[in-house]
Structure 1
Amino acid sequence: MKEKTKEPGNGNVLFDFYGKAPEMSQLVPLSLQHVLAAIVGVITPSMIIAGTCGLTDAEKTMMIQAALIFTALATFLQLFPLFHKIGAALPVIMGTSFAYVPTLTAIGADFGIGAIMGAQIIGGIVAIVFGIFVKQIRKLFPDIVTGTVIFTIGLSLYPTAIRYMAGGSGHPEFGGLKNWIIALLTFAVVLFLNNFTKGVLKLGSLFFGIIVGYVVSLFLGMVDFTNVMNTTSIVAFPQLMHFQIEFAPAACASLAIVYAVNAVQTIGDLTSTTVGGMDRVPTDNELQGGILVQGVASIVGAFFGALPTASYSQNVGIVTMNKVVNRVIFAVSATVLLVAGLIPGLSAALTTIPQCVIGGATLSVFAQIAMTGVRLFTKDGMTARKTTVVGMSVALGVGITQVSGCLQGPGIPEWINTVFGSSSVVVATIMAIILNLTLPPEE
């Protein structure tokens, strides 16, 4: 049995992964803030891919439901491992991920939704293999590499937060004054509660910030209930094998690479969770179990129309910010997502939160992720070697993604841009590993 993890000198059940259920006044806001932080990330990839593949509204709804359901199931596996092997037994929210969207969009446009599901099955197998051998692979990821990856993850999420704060891509008033007023108000509430209050207000700062932003948005007429009103079914389930699975070699190869890289990101997220929330590094078994969930959930989800699964960095940020790791809180979050997936009306209601509110609330979370990475690679001091590894890796990774088309010139295969041109984390990770292995050790 794993050793219970508590905040040093603190007997509060909130900081004990195996602790009893906290009081309702704490349980409800702390659970719901994880739901609210994840909900946009859970449903948006399905909406994007459905549009790319030309699916019907009914199929889009089914994909959103599948995303919510498999987010919940994957999270339950992380909290309560199957056979003590599949799952990390860590406070982690899993779900469909933006990290795969660029590659999935390219596959969907070229081959269709069936090829996405087939490539996802192959990618899930790659993740499982990666998880099985993570003990051997982990030596490639010391603190200097893992810290660089986590720092880059945080940096790569900043544009997402700003895009949300401006209203979200495709919003008719993107960048408008109302969006920024709501976003900055939400951000200010989160910042104030997190730094100037105590107790449940401090721990649930993200939740209360979203509530304030949502209420103000209601008064300004920025909340659209059309999808809720159009919902007719009380309970609905995603269909097994609704999409015919196809295996396109090019699609499978490109997504397999992305899965391998995302397994590295999962290592970063799990490390960030334990370092930021539990003051320790994860064990090999925890990393293995966490990555296995990523693979298993992706494979099974493909048969129901759910997109690839990964750990959620924004929820990791909440853990590092408030140190709350009680698994009952995360189980309640997963239950809410599961119910939302089974009840179309509730699922539609969760999607009414304006993206500017989500952006204002999560900006501080993404910042915390980046600072967790800094904490990792500077904990023994900053040396010339560390400066080179971190600086060069981040510069190349972030730089490539900021220059559109820089990997699409003559002589460069299209898959190079698909895999490396859209993810600063991929490039920074590979660069950090190479530099750490090749640069001479410090005296």
Structure 2
Amino acid sequence: MSDINQAGTDLIYQLEDKPPVHQTLIGAITHLLAIFVPMVTPALIVGTSLQLSTETTAYLVSMAMIASGVGTWLQVNRYGCIGSGLLSIQSVNFSFVTVMIALGSSMKSDGLHEDLILSSLLGVSFVGAFLVVGSSFILPYLRRVITPTVSGVVVLMIGLSLIKVGIIDFGGGFAAKSSGTFGNYENLGIGLLVLLVVIGFNCMRSPLLRMSGIAVGIVVGYVVALCLGMVDFSVMRNLPLLTIPQPFKYGFSFDLHHFLVVGTIYLLSVLEAVGDITATAMVSRRPIEGDEYQGRLKGGVLADGLVSVIASALGSLPLTTFAQNNGVIQMTGVASRYIGRTIAVMLVVLGLFPGIGRFFTTIPSPVLGGAMTLMFSMIAIAGIRIIISNGLKRRETLIVATSLGLGLGVSYDPEIFKILPASIYVLVENPICAGGLTAIVLNLLIPIRREAPDKAASQVEELE
């Protein structure tokens, strides 16, 4: 186990190392570039789909950044039993986007005003977050359920699911698909340029150059895109100078039916958080079994829940630990949690000054895709390492193969299980949930046996 953890990553700065100021800034900016667009996109998608006002959408985006900063600070500093103590970055949970749009559209068709819609959506999100808080206290008793094999399957599914997001951006994003420019020479050329720059810098011996590889790749791609006229600055117009958080700005209301739907997604997000934290521990050369691991797991999930409570109160969609940063840690070789403090402060400042934050949204999709495709693949590799660390005997092979088959199968056609009741379908239409739940069920059902070859091999060793 320890050998695999040590060999799995090539770290320049380990968990408790304190990099110099300039390298800390480079590392923080690199992480921000990896998460910024995915962080603000959910609020923009929900705002556009529900036809919310520009001011309301801008407020949701700002609160997402501020809540992410607060959550990241809690995670990396680990106050008592709160936080994982790892370089775990908090950001908006994409799993809630579809649910929020569906529930909000239903209320909108009933003639409700946007303030009432948001008061209900954020109200059930606020209450539902306590389910995550409660689940963190029973995680230590679930060691038989959440094994390295199960966690590895979840991390693998997270990486494989994110690769689709990265490759779509590589070709120009959903906007390019709508305009018919998806996969044209400009988009592919810029995506490939960024990819090659990132690979080139990560092959260098200099720690500073390795750390800055992703940031340099994105900057080079952005400059080329700017020269080609692919950067749209229209999103910078009519933004407020300063955004002040207002708890329960849109009021507070609670609907039991909405709560059941949102609560289900929250419980599923716990499984995803477990996978993310396990991957972060893995790439940070920390144990993924034992008391230390269980403590980080409990603290990380507890922080996830508390941060979602804070986020919902401020006016943001629920948050979770972001998987993207595991790829950044592997690419840069920097796992120092002290960089997380700088990231947290930057996120809060960006949230208070929306003009600064919105600038990052001008980065063209192929620029991000060129870097993300590689980073997301690294997450999948981390999942494979976690699975291998627990061994791949016949039992584990069956669990991984079945979970991977059903999880990827759902990603190819999410409607395959549409015949199931809505309460169950919402669980299995997500590839990560489908694969993770399959791994949990099989891990409980398939008995643990000592296989004959292992016993024979031990006997041979004794004779020798």
TM over 0.5: yes
Distance 1:353 1:152, change over 3 A: same
Give the drift of 1:380.
5.0
- CA deviations over 1:335-368 (Å, ceiling 9, x no partner): 2211111112101212111121111101111111
Q: Which amino acid aligns with 1:218?
A: L
Give the drift of 1:104.
2.1
Partner of 1:90: 86
User: CA contact under 8 A between 1:18 and 1:327: conserved in structure 2?
Assistant: yes
CA distance in 2, matches of 1:55, 1:229: 17
User: CA contact under 8 A between 2:122 and 2:315: conserved in structure 1?
Assistant: yes
Matched, 1:433 2:431: no
Equivalent runs, 1:356-371 vs 2, <5 Å: 356-371=366-381
Distance 1:260 1:380, change over 3 A: closer
User: CA contact under 8 A between 2:42 and 2:92: conserved in structure 1?
Assistant: yes
Equivalent runs, 1:41-440 vs 2, <5 Å: 41-82=38-79, 84-111=80-107, 112-171=117-176, 172=179, 173-231=181-239, 233-281=240-288, 283-379=293-389, 381-409=391-419, 412-421=420-429, 423-440=430-447
User: CA contact under 8 A between 1:72 and 1:94: conserved in structure 2?
Assistant: yes
Give the drift of 1:407.
2.6
CA distance in 2, matches of 1:46, 1:238: 16
CA distance in 2, matches of 1:252, 1:139: 29
Give the drift of 1:276.
1.3
- CA deviations over 1:6-41 (Å, ceiling 9, x no partner): 989x9x9x52433334241x2222110100001011
Q: Which amino acid aligns with 2:104?
A: G
Give the drift of 1:215.
0.9
Partner of 1:3: none
CA distance in 1, matches of 2:54, 2:183: 28
CA distance in 2, matches of 1:212, 1:442: 54
CA distance in 1, matches of 2:18, 2:324: 25
Q: Which amino acid aligns with 2:43?
A: S
Larger radius of gyration: 2
SS of structure 1 residue aligned to 2:105:
helix
User: CA contact under 8 A between 2:210 and 2:333: conserved in structure 1?
Assistant: no
- CA deviations over 1:118-151 (Å, ceiling 9, x no partner): 2212320110011111111233111111111111
Give the drift of 1:229.
4.2
CA RMSD of aligned residues (A): 2.1
User: CA contact under 8 A between 1:389 and 1:436: conserved in structure 2?
Assistant: yes
Q: Given the two structures, how large is their TM-score scaled by the length of structure 2? A: 0.88
SS of structure 2 residue aligned to 1:406:
helix
Give the drift of 1:408.
2.5
- CA deviations over 1:288-320 (Å, ceiling 9, x no partner): 111111111111211221001001100122123
Give the drift of 1:228.
2.3
SS of structure 2 residue aligned to 1:315:
helix
Matched, 1:40 2:37: yes
Partner of 2:16: 18
Between the aligned residues of both structures, percent identity stands at: 29
CA distance in 1, matches of 2:350, 2:156: 32
CA distance in 1, matches of 2:141, 2:421: 31
Distance 1:283 1:97, change over 3 A: same
Distance 1:438 1:302, change over 3 A: same
CA distance in 2, matches of 1:194, 1:18: 22
SS of structure 2 residue aligned to 1:18:
coil
CA distance in 2, matches of 1:272, 1:202: 21
SS of structure 1 residue aligned to 2:91:
strand
User: CA contact under 8 A between 2:13 and 2:19: conserved in structure 1?
Assistant: no
Counting matched residue pairs gives 429
- CA deviations over 1:219-269 (Å, ceiling 9, x no partner): 1111112222433x3322133322233322222112211111111111111
User: CA contact under 8 A between 1:102 and 1:418: conserved in structure 2?
Assistant: no
Give the drift of 1:95.
1.0
SS of structure 2 residue aligned to 1:15:
coil
User: CA contact under 8 A between 2:161 and 2:411: conserved in structure 1?
Assistant: no
Give the drift of 1:433.
1.0
Partner of 2:113: none
Q: Which amino acid aligns with 2:344?
A: A
Give the drift of 1:75.
0.1
Structure 1: state its 5+ residue gaps: 1-5
CA distance in 2, matches of 1:380, 1:415: 33
User: CA contact under 8 A between 2:120 and 2:252: conserved in structure 1?
Assistant: yes
SS of structure 1 residue aligned to 2:252:
coil
CA distance in 1, matches of 2:25, 2:403: 41
Give the drift of 1:420.
2.0
- CA deviations over 1:381-401 (Å, ceiling 9, x no partner): 422222210010111122123
CA distance in 2, matches of 1:415, 1:164: 32
CA distance in 2, matches of 1:413, 1:270: 31
User: CA contact under 8 A between 1:67 and 1:96: conserved in structure 2?
Assistant: yes
CA distance in 1, matches of 2:426, 2:390: 36
